[in-house]
Amino acid sequence: MREWYKYSLDPLSKGKTYLPIDHDFIDHEKAMGGYKADDAYNSKSAFFNKYFLGYHLGRLEYYDVFLRKHLKKDWNVLSIASGRCVNELFLIEDGYRITCSDLKVFDSYKETKKLFPKFKFVEHDILKAPAEKCDAVICLSLIYLFNDDDLFTFFKNVSDSLKIGGHLILDSAGSSDNLLSYLIHDVILKYEIFGIRLIKFLLTGRLQSVVTKHHGYRRTDEEIIKTAKQSGFELLHYENYAFTIEFKRSYFLNKIIKTNSIIEKAFSILGKSIPYIRMWYFRKVI
């Protein structure tokens, strides 16, 4: 496990600023840009056009491909840390039986319920207690926030929420901890922000603050599988997606990637060792 940091500029102050990891629903909601309703809630098509199709470089569409491969429509499914519940709502519209959950009711709950009458939501903290028994649990873009103790608690409580033979579909929420991801996150992105800061200072005369945010943790595949096995899971299938997203975090690398399709393909091949999306399909066997 390696601590994962992100870097940005703050135009309102000078010097370095440190932000801790998200500790509660309010912290994470803010980090995700909030879950308030907007014009996209005027229709289902507008909602999915804004928050599903192409959202975050197609991340949710990758999720959907994997989820549909492994979920069955007659299963009772619980989604952990559902956020705005976009992937879940897209599946619910197609007949899947999914109950969404998060630490608290989110801001656009009423508008969501009005737009999607079949939508179900419960407040639940998977780190504090198991949920009611279900056939499958899905969890997208969450476990990067967990230290090792929390990750073990997560798997244990998910296991206790499932029937024997039940299934967990999990997104690792970040690339594997290896040399290339280290170079990108802890070298290139870390020092690139100071270069951008200097350029902006030369152009505007204003010296901005570098904000260091403890974003979470990166883990190897083996670390995730080992912790899952300790709670009685076996790995049935996994797939990797989104091989250039980690490179595109860099302003300068993104410019290079966009130069032409041959360069993008080369980065995509190199990026197979650091897929941003690693999807896991586990079955409870104990």
Q: What's the pLDDT tens digit per position in 181-226? A: 999 999 999 999 999 999 999 999 999 999 999 999 999 999 999 9
What was the pLDDT predicted at 57? Answer: 83
Q: Which candidate, 106, 136, 134, 113, places its Cα nearest to that of 32? A: 106
> For residue 234, is pLDDT > 70?
yes
What is the distance between the alpha carbons of residues 82 and 85, in angstroms, rounded to a whole number? 5
> For residue 15, is pLDDT > 90?
no
Contact present, 170 and 282 (Cβ < 8 Å): yes
Residue 9's pLDDT band (boundaries 50, 70, 90)? very high
Residue 14's pLDDT band (boundaries 50, 70, 90)? low
Contacts of 112 (CB under 8 A, 6+ apart): 37, 41, 84, 85, 89, 119, 121
Q: State pTM to two decimals.
A: 0.94
DSSP three-state, residue 118: coil
Q: Give the pLDDT mean for 264-286.
A: 97
Contacts of 212 (CB under 8 A, 6+ apart): 5, 6, 7, 16, 17, 18, 19
What was the pLDDT predicted at 11? Answer: 83
> For residue 12, is pLDDT > 90?
no
Q: Which two tokens stand for residue 114?
A: 């009005």
Helices and strands in the chain, H and E counts: 12, 10
CATH class of 2-284: alpha beta
